[in-house]
Amino acid sequence: MAKFLLTLIKGVVHSMPKTADAPQRIALCVQYDGSRFHGFQRQPGFRTVQEELELAWAAVSGETVVMHGSGRTDSGVHAWGQVVHFSTWSPMQAQQIQRAISAYLEPDLGVRHAAFVPPEFHARHSARGKHYVYLCALGSTRPVLHWGKVAWCRRPLNLQAMREASRYLIGTHDFSAMAAAGRTSKTSIRSLHSVHILRWRGGLAFHFAGGGFLYRQVRNMVGTLWEVGAEKRTPVWVKHVLASQDRRKAGVTAPPEGLYLWRVHYPQDPFPCFPPAHRAPIL
């Protein structure tokens, strides 16, 4: 069926004249299981999300394009709402583009939606904020059915203490203590709008929404909150860690498999038909 649909779509493409005076810009909302990807950004010799999308579109249209993402995700990190844009001369409609690309993708990568956007739209530079979710299973039993999709903490965590500690993260701060070494950003000042830690299927879901994040900032914040949850540190310790601007004083970097790029926010949402991020199902 997928091959039939793709043949039909490509037949429509080849039969339609290309009358546009300029290429059209398309935004894609992409989801992927990061377990078998070496991150989003194209890297020679490794399977990446960016290259898979580019190859799929080349197979559909014959065009060589660059798929620009809203941000890079590390190896093993997942996405439910990664946003990608590219420009094309194709006369295909947005829904046809979504279906055609998806037909060429492996089951661990999919295009959830496609939309035409203004020519000045940029998946990364136009973004005004991001929402990340970190999932953590708790208990002595290995989360077999969700393996590779969640982190696993064998010890219990004090939810109330972590919620209290998370308040020190909210606001505009120098997040150097939560940033990985080797970052390329010009400044480590970031604004974190909200942190919510919720019970989730025998585990916890950490929600972080902010204007932007440093490299591995979310995973380092989770690892730091784990220290408080394990009652190795008091909640106010997080305040002192931030003030120190010293990564060595913070907690461990939480593993990548629990992290999801959940939603990217723009002044005008390219995908207004989607439900709010907090209503979307998690696994």
Dihedrals phi, psi of 142, to nearest 5 degrees:
-60, 135
- Cβ atoms 27, 83 nearer than 8 A: yes
User: CA distances (Å), 172 to each of 35, 194, 203, in order?
Assistant: 32, 11, 29
The dihedral built from the CA positions of residue 60, 66, 70 and 75, taken in this order, carries a sign that is positive
CA 40 from centre of chain: 9
Question: C-alpha angle with apex 243: 177 to 174, nearest 5 degrees?
Answer: 60
Question: Catalytic residue numbers?
Answer: 74
Which residues 6+ apart lie within 8 Å of 145 measured at CB?
none
User: CA distances (Å), 262 to each of 9, 41, 174, in order?
Assistant: 30, 18, 24
83 membership: H or E segment, kind and range: strand 78-88
Alpha-carbon distance 208 to 169, whole Å?
10
160 membership: H or E segment, kind and range: helix 159-166
The SS3 assignment for 64 reads: coil
Dihedrals phi, psi of 256, to nearest 5 degrees:
-70, -25
- Cβ atoms 243, 174 nearer than 8 A: no
- Cβ atoms 92, 20 nearer than 8 A: no
